[in-house]
Amino acid sequence: MSFDRLIAKIIETGNPTVVGLDPKLDYVPEFIKKKAFEEKGADLKGAAKAILEFNKAIIDEIYDIVPAIKPQAAYYEMYGWQGVKTLYKTIEYAQSKGMFVMVDGKRNDIGATMEAYTNAYLGSTEVNGVKFEGFGADALTVNGYLGTDGIAPLTKVCAENDKGIFVLVKTSNKSSGELQDRILDDGKTIYNTMGEMCEEWGKDTIGKYGYSAVGAVVGATYPEQLAEMRAKLPHTFFLVPGYGAQGGGAEGVAKAFDEKGLGAIVNSSRAVMTAYKKEGCDEKDFAKAARRECIRMREDITSFVTALNTKHQ
Amino acid sequence: MSFDRLIAKIIETGNPTVVGLDPKLDYVPEFIKKKAFEEKGADLKGAAKAILEFNKAIIDEIYDIVPAIKPQAAYYEMYGWQGVKTLYKTIEYAQSKGMFVMVDGKRNDIGATMEAYTNAYLGSTEVNGVKFEGFGADALTVNGYLGTDGIAPLTKVCAENDKGIFVLVKTSNKSSGELQDRILDDGKTIYNTMGEMCEEWGKDTIGKYGYSAVGAVVGATYPEQLAEMRAKLPHTFFLVPGYGAQGGGAEGVAKAFDEKGLGAIVNSSRAVMTAYKKEGCDEKDFAKAARRECIRMREDITSFVTALNTKHQ
């Protein structure tokens, strides 16, 4: 239970970052697309094949230096069920290389339906007396707007299967404040209230590093709120989106970490996947360029998170 | 744009209800499972096949008297990508019979990622210059916790492609009040605030019946809030879950409707899918039992929504 497995991987690699695999077809080099379209057709099936090859090549280049990937479900669902099959195969491949996989699905529902999502992503589904994993990820992002009925089914499975969830608390987007920053009648913001609910939901799943199985999403674009939440939620592990492309800098991101250099993992998606375009290198070098960007990001962030910054120096 | 197509179907059938196709394998009669497992294997593939056959048989029996189906994504995702393929095929089949299909996915994200979800469910995805529909549904449920950044990509596609969304406002579950009923510093509840955001998000997409393309989910289990929201949100069409199994009665549900008997559609899932078990009829009659339950539900609800209650009498 808890995020012990993820935290152990972060310590092992000395790298508190996760690569968001949100593969638009535009990011995939032409030579991969050409081959996939020839094999499978220039349609959703071909696109799904191209994206799988792109993902696998990046995973091959980064699995030894990056602890985790975070595939965003939307970018697979847009290619239909064929894309969802690629999501499954990406998860399977990354785990075969020892990576921790968090599906960014922001799922939310109640009771039996939330159990179905839980079984889909973190547990298993029984067919004719045999259990099968739908997607078999290690963690899932979820939205807590529906309250405890939407979270309880998850914490049970997390405890049983050594998995974790990240609840949206303060998202990285510009309009996140429209609702999340509003003040309730007790003087607390909505994101504060959601954060407190995370501590409550996670209280029985605290692991050896002091963090529970119920993490929170807190955006890199709001460093003040990151610092506030880090202080107020001592057992809640943070997933921090918004670094880089969305404008969050390493100095601000550092506020998500505790005094041991733990407590958070920072996501980067586009900058890693499109590093070859930014570098202007041969497109055949896209995966090596992704690796170079991962190292650059690790150095940038760990230069501000000094407690963790020892192993790879 | 707007929910004109759905409302026209409701008027045509004289039936403001939607069948939630949330097919647990337990609901599927043995003879269908046996055949599917023999053909495809007793695994996720076989389960997905069994569920598709179950769905199609129910659709065949109800498409002339029920305007819409609402497949819940979680119950397909729990059977992996194979289950998601069944979701796609269920949508396609229901539409081929003229039904309006709303995917209950409660999706939520920001910017480009929300665009990806939008393309997946309501728009299309370009591959090599050709557009393909990932799932091609008519409407999608979404969660507005992330603010306007999470909704704007949807309203654009809804207007262009004549589709709609339902935003979670007041959900039907017991703990929905933990967050949604909390009072903000202006004295309004969170669900009230979310409801007002729906009116704002939808204001440029109002159709000929007076309703916009941005609907709201308001649970049948909270009739007072249904009445309050109906009065306050004149252009917001309601999707009302929680009737029957969750305890919402027809008299309470009637408060979701306007004086013309329009403005809402009421969902029933389990009672329709498992009608044959409740009736105790031969399991081969499951689809006809589902039809009987749909008629019973229509009569129950329209007996309180008298303005609409003319056509099928």
Other Cβ atoms less than 10 A from the Cβ of A306: the count is 11
Q: Which residues of A touch B37 (CB under 8 A)?
A: 128
Rg of chain B, C-alpha, whole Å = 19
- Predicted local confidence at residue A196, as pLDDT: 96
Q: Which pLDDT does position B1 carry in this prediction?
A: 58
Which chain B residue's Cα is nearest to A174? B149
Closest-approach residue (CA) in chain B for A194: B179
CB A31 within 8 A of CB A284: yes
CA dist B228 and B241 (Å) reads 17
The answer to whether the CB atoms of B184 and A180 lie below 8 A apart is no
Contact A185 B180 (CB under 8 A): no
Q: Is the pTM of this model over 0.90?
A: yes
Q: What is the pLDDT of residues B206-228, one digit of tens each?
A: 999 999 999 999 998 899 999 99
Cβ burial of A281 (10 Å; 0-12, 13-18, 19+) is middle
B188 is catalytic: no
Our CA-based measurement puts residue A301 at a distance from the nearest CA of chain B, in whole angstroms, of: 24
Give pLDDT < 70 ranges for chain B.
1, 309-313
CA dist., res. B103 & res. B19, Å (int): 11
Per-residue model confidence (pLDDT) at position B149: 86
Residues of B in contact with A106 (CB under 8 A): 107-109, 143
Pair A190, B190: CB distance under 8 Å: yes
Q: Which residues of A touch B39 (CB under 8 A)?
A: none
The DSSP letter of residue B63 is T
Report angle CA A161, A167, A172 to the nearest 5 degrees: 140
The position carrying tokens 């979404």 is B142
- In chain B, residues with a C-beta closer than 8 Å to the C-beta of A43 are 127, 130, 132
Interacting residues of B299 by C-beta distance below 8 A, sequence separation 6+ = none
Rg (CA), chain A: 19
Contacts of B128 in chain A (CB under 8 A): 33, 37, 42, 46
Partner-chain contact B107 A74, CB within 8 Å = yes
Asked if the interface predicted TM-score (ipTM) of this complex is over 0.90, the answer is yes
User: B143, A177: Cβ pair inside 8 Å?
Assistant: no
DSSP states along chain A: -TTHHHHHHHHHHT--EEE-----GGGS-HHHHHHHHHHH-SSHHHHHHHHHHHHHHHHHHHTTT--EE--BHHHHHTTHHHHHHHHHHHHHHHHHTT-EEEEEEEE---HHHHHHHHHHHTS-EEETTEEE-SS--SEEEE--TT-GGGTHHHHHHHHHHT-EEEEEEE-SSGGGHHHHTPBBTTS-BHHHHHHHHHHHHHTT---TTS--SEEEEE-TT-HHHHHHHHHH-TT--EEE--BSTTSB-HHHHGGGS-TTS-SEEEEE-HHHHTHHHHHT--GGGHHHHHHHHHHHHHHHHHTT-GGGTTTT-
DSSP 3-state of B159 = helix
Q: Do A113 and B177 touch (CB under 8 A)?
A: no
Where along chain A do its domains lie? 4-308
Q: Is B172 helix (H, G, I), strand (E, B) or coil?
A: coil
Q: Which of B50, B23, B16 is nearest to B270 (CA)?
A: B23
Q: For all residues of chain A together, what is the average pLDDT?
A: 94
CATH of domain A4-308: 3.20.20.70
Its sign, for the CA torsion A61, A66, A68, A71, is negative
Q: φ and ψ at A213, to 5 degrees?
A: -85, -5
Mean pLDDT of A178-193: 92
CA–CA separation, B264 and B268 (whole Å): 13
- Amino acid in the structure at residue B20: G
Which amino acid belongs to residue B49?
Answer: K
For A25-68, write each residue's pLDDT tens digit.
Answer: 999 999 999 999 999 999 999 999 999 999 999 999 999 999 99
Q: What's the average model confidence in pLDDT over A133-158?
A: 92
The predicted pLDDT at position A248 comes to: 79
B111, B135, B176: residue with CB nearest A80: B135
Among B68, B2, B8, B10, which Cα is nearest to B211's? Answer: B2
Q: Which residues of B touch A81 (CB under 8 A)?
A: 81, 84-85, 87-88
Q: Which of B87, B110, B200 to mutate to test the interface with A (most CBs of A within 10 A)?
A: B110
Whole-angstrom Cα distance, residue A77 to residue B120? 6
> Which of A37, A81, A87 is nearest residue B85 as measured by Cβ atoms?
A81
Q: d(Cα A94, Cα A106) in Å, to the nearest integer?
A: 20
Q: How far is CA A239 from CA A22, A159, A218, in A?
A: 16, 19, 6
Helix runs in B4-72, H state only = 4-13, 30-40, 44-62
> Do the chains contact at A81 and B77, CB–CB below 8 Å?
no
- Measured between CA atoms, the residue of chain B closest to residue A146 is B176
**Pick from B148, B173, B183: which is nearest to A178 by CB?**
B148
Residues A75-128: tens digit of each pLDDT: 999 999 999 999 999 999 999 999 999 999 999 998 899 999 999 999 999 999
Q: Do the Cβ atoms of B148 and A108 come within 8 Å?
A: no
For A192, nearest residue in chain B (alpha carbons): B179
Cα–Cα distance measured from residue B221 to residue B242, given in angstroms and rounded to the nearest whole number: 6
For chain A, give the percent of residues with pLDDT over 70. Answer: 98
- Asked if B145 and A74 come within 8 Å (Cβ–Cβ), the reply is no
- Does the distance separating the beta carbons of A185 and B127 come in below 8 Å? no
Whether the pLDDT of residue A313 is over 50: the answer is no
DSSP class of residue B143? -
pLDDT for res A156: 86
Closest residue of chain B to A184, computed from CA coordinates: B184
Query: Nearest CA to CA, how far is B65 from chain A (Å)?
Result: 26
A with B: how many residue pairs have Cβ under 8 Å apart? Answer: 231
User: What does the pLDDT average to over A156-161?
Assistant: 87
